[in-house]
Structure 1
Amino acid sequence: MKVGIVGASFARAAYLPALRHVPGAEVVALASGRIESARSAATEFGIEHAYDDWQAMLANHDLDLVLIATPTDLHAPITLAALAKGAHVVCEKPTAMDAGEAKAMLDAAEAAGRLHMVDHELRFNPNRARVADMIAYGDLGEIRHVNIANIGASWANPASRPKGDWWSLSEHGGGRLGANGSHQVDMLRWWLGPVASVVGQALVVVPDRKDKATGEAWTATADDLAYFTLEMASGALAQVFMSGVAANNIGNLTQVFGSKGTIILDNENEKLLFAKAGGSFEDITIADPNSGLPGLNKGVWNVSVVGGLREMAAAIVENRPLARGATFHDGLANQHVLDAVKLSTRTRAWVDLPAEACK
């Protein structure tokens, strides 16, 4: 299976270590915006071809699978080009700049008969899968509300980001809403079903910044703080608060409240706790069997990628649909929610999602 990757940073951190544990996968080419980054990653992982032009990479190789880990504004054009060349696609989150791009990606993949996945890798984490099963089997009863808080300090210092950092620029699709909010939305839809209505804000709290190396002033335009409430089609409410401008890292805490019990999941220690109504919390954590694989970088994100890439590779080899994971259908539904948060920011009002997003 010939694999090409666009984007060296996440490839080096997650994709390339994971692909060493995907049977039959051979990375033949890697492209990055800087040739130095592409060559460095290619040398480290024994990849023959390195490019600073993704279009040249696609033109020069017949690839079975293309992995896309670039700034968000490049997701749609690279996806469409890869599909046109006959490749299956795994694209990083957020899916696209808006729902229009996400729908174009989905339509092109379906028309080409290619497999498509958005890298919401937490769907392959055993603890989050257990929560999904417990909700589906009724162990928590009727889900009434969910609270998720993700608090960090990585954007707090005005000199913490380099000038031109795409994560801080709205024109490139940066911001906490896309970076972390897309994962939270996908997880909530996976657990609870469709989203009916949205209210929230995506805000730039620290716009005035200085390059961390040169001290040169520049302006951040992408949100460093975002929060939203989702009214699910089931009637459950889910609240998500994400900040990158706190003075201290608090981490990510997820709480699920049902009529028969409560779940607490802490990213800091990856402990999954469950209490039946009126009872005490018990540790029901499941260890990820992939966490001990050699060469993987630590962290739930890097480990969970293994499961996602194995599933995509197996589906390609077996000529079958994906059995697990977020497809471009999910990517479009998630994008409708992110777009609604941005609209709610402007209107300061609830936004009802279109009917097709509530299926």
Structure 2
Amino acid sequence: MKFAIIGASFAKAAYLPALRHVPGAEVVALASNRLASARAAADEFGIADAYADWREMLARHRPDAVLIATPTNTHAEMTLAALDHGAHVLCEKPTAMDAGEAEAMLDKAEALGRLHMIDHELRFNPNRMRIAEMIASGDLGEIRHVNISNIGASWADPASRPIGDWWSLIDQGGGRLGANGSHQVDMLRWWLGPVVSVIGEAITMVPDRIDKRTGQRWTATADDVSYLTLRMQSGARAQVFMSGVAAHNIGNVTQVFGSKGTVLLSNEDERLYFAKAGQEFSDITVEDPNSSLPGLNKGVWNSSVVSALREFAVAISQGRSLKQGANFFDGLANQLVLDAVRESTATRAWVDLPTERCKR
């Protein structure tokens, strides 16, 4: 199966090491905005062709699948072009700049009969899969509320981000809401079902930035703090708080509270704890067999990408839809939530979701 990749940075960190563990996968070409970056990644992983222009790459090759890991404002254009060139598409999160773009991606993929996937790789993490199973089986009883916090210091120093950093620019789709919030929303939808209403805020706490290399001052426009409350169709409430500008790294903590029990998960040590009502917590951690694969970078994200790409490749080879993972339907539903948070930021009010757009 022939793969082409757009975006060298994440490809080098995650896709290319993972694809070495996907039977039959061959990466035939890689494109990046900077040819030097594309060539360096291609040389390291034995890829023959590298391009500075992704359009030229698609014109010269006929890959079975295209993996897209680029700034958010490029996702829709690249996805639509790859689909038109006959490829199945895995696109990074957040899906797109807004729900209109996400819907166009979904409509074209469905019309052309292409497999479509959003890289919410945590759906393949064994501990989060265990939580999904416990919720579905009723081990936790009725889920009443979920609390997720993701607190870090990586953006706290005004000189921590270089000038032009797309993650810090709203017009390129940057910000914590898209970078991390999209993962949290996908996980909550996976575990609990549809979101019906949202209130929240996506704000820039440290807009005044300085480029560490040049000393040039510049302004960040994307959110470095985001928080949201979700009202789920099930009646459960979920709260998510994310910050990149804290003085300390606290990490990602997930707490699920049901009528019969509670589960706790921290990515600091990736240990999963469960307690039935009235009892003490016990460790029920599920180890990830992918974590010991050679050549992978450390962390649950990188090991989970292996399973995501395996499912993507097998589904293509078998001519079936995904059995596991997030597709463009999920991407659209996720984007509606992110859009609602931005609307709520402006209106300071609850926003009801048009869930009928995802029921197709």
Q: Specify every segment of 5 or more residues in structure 1 that has no aligned partner in the other structure, as ranges.
A: none
Q: Distance in 2 between matches of 1:252 and 1:355?
A: 28
Q: Per the alignment, in what secondary structure is the counterpart of residue 315 of structure 1?
A: helix
Q: Which residue of 1 aligns with 2:195?
A: 195
Q: Secondary structure at the match of 1:103?
A: helix
The one-letter code sitting in structure 2 at the alignment partner of 1:112 is L
State how 1:296-315 maps to structure 2 within 5 Å: 296-315=296-315
Partner secondary structure for residue 212 of structure 1: coil
1:212 alignment counterpart: 212
Q: C-alpha separation between the residues in 1 aligned to 2:348 and 2:187?
A: 25
Task: Show the counterpart of 1:69.
Answer: 69
What is the correspondence of 1:75-94 to structure 2 with a 5 Å cutoff? 75-94=75-94
1:212 to partner: Cα distance? 1.6
Correspondence 1:137-286 to 2 at 5 A = 137-286=137-286
2:31–2:53 contact (8 Å) kept in structure 1: yes
Query: Is structure 2 residue 341 aligned with structure 1 residue 341?
Result: yes
| CA distance in structure 1 between the partners assigned to 2:176 and 2:213 by the alignment | 23
Q: Distance in 1 between matches of 2:37 and 2:279?
A: 53
Which amino acid letter does the alignment assign opposite residue 314 of structure 1?
A: V
2-structure distance, mates of 1:226, 1:77: 27
Give the 4+ runs in structure 1 shifted more than 6 A. Answer: none
Amino acid of the residue matched to residue 167 of structure 2?
W
The equivalent residue for 1:24 is 24
CA distance in 2, matches of 1:233, 1:312: 29
Identity of aligned residues (%): 75
Render the CA deviation track for 1:26-78: whole Å, top value 9, x for unaligned. Answer: 00000001011000000000000000111001000001000000000000000
User: Contact 2:329/2:358 (CA < 8 Å) preserved in 1?
Assistant: no
- Aligned partners of 2:333 and 2:355 also within 8 Å: no
Deviation at 1:319, TM superposition (A): 1.1
8 A contact 2:332–2:358 mirrored in 1: no
CA distance in 2, matches of 1:340, 1:198: 6
SS in 1 for 2:273: strand
Distance 1:46 1:222 in 2: 36
Give SS of 1:106's match: helix
2:207 is aligned with what amino acid?
A: P
- 1:247-266 per-residue CA deviation (whole Å, 9 max, x = no partner) reads 11000000000000000000
1:190 maps to a residue whose letter is W
Quote the Cα distance in structure 1 between the aligned partners of 2:322 and 2:144.
Answer: 30
Structure 1 SS opposite 2:265: strand
Q: Using the alignment, how far apart are the partners of 1:43 and 1:66 within structure 2?
A: 19
Give the CA deviation at 1:355.
Answer: 3.2
Cα distance in 2 for partners of 1:213, 1:301 equals 30
Match of 1:356 in 2: 356
Q: Distance in 2 between matches of 1:355 and 1:179?
A: 23
User: Unpaired runs of 5+ in structure 2?
Assistant: none
Question: What RMSD over aligned residues (CA atoms) do the two structures have, in Å?
Answer: 0.7
Which AA in structure 1 matches 2:153?
A
| Counterpart-to-counterpart distance in 2, 1:307 and 1:204 | 35
Superposed CA deviations along residues 76-124 of structure 1, whole A, max 9, x for unmatched, are 0000000000100000000000000000000000011000000000000
Q: Which residue of 1 aligns with 2:50?
A: 50
Spell out, residue by residue over 1:177-220, the C-alpha distance to the aligned partner (whole angstroms, 9 max, x if none).
00000000000000000001000000000000001211100000
In 1, Cα distance between the equivalents of 2:22 and 2:273?
31
> 3-state SS of the aligned residue for 1:13?
helix
Q: SS where residue 305 of structure 2 aligns?
A: helix
Partner-residue secondary structure (3-state), 1:5 = strand
What residue number does 1:14 align with?
Answer: 14
Q: Tell me the alpha carbon deviations over residues 265-300 of structure 1, each in whole angstroms, 9 at most, x when there is no partner.
A: 000100000000010000000000111100000000
Is the 2:31–2:52 Cα contact (8 Å) retained in structure 1?
A: yes
**TM-score in terms of structure 2 length:** 0.99
Q: CA deviation at 1:357?
A: 5.2
1:294 and 2:294 correspond: yes
Aligned to 2:117, the other structure's residue is in SS state: strand
Encode CA deviations 1:105-146: one digit per residue, 9 max, x unaligned: 000000110000000000000110010000000000000000
Q: Kindly indicate whether the alpha-carbon contact (under 8 Å) linking 1:196 and 1:358 is maintained by their aligned counterparts in 2.
A: no
Deviation at 1:358, TM superposition (A): 7.0
Distance in 2 between the 1:354 and 1:111 partners? 22
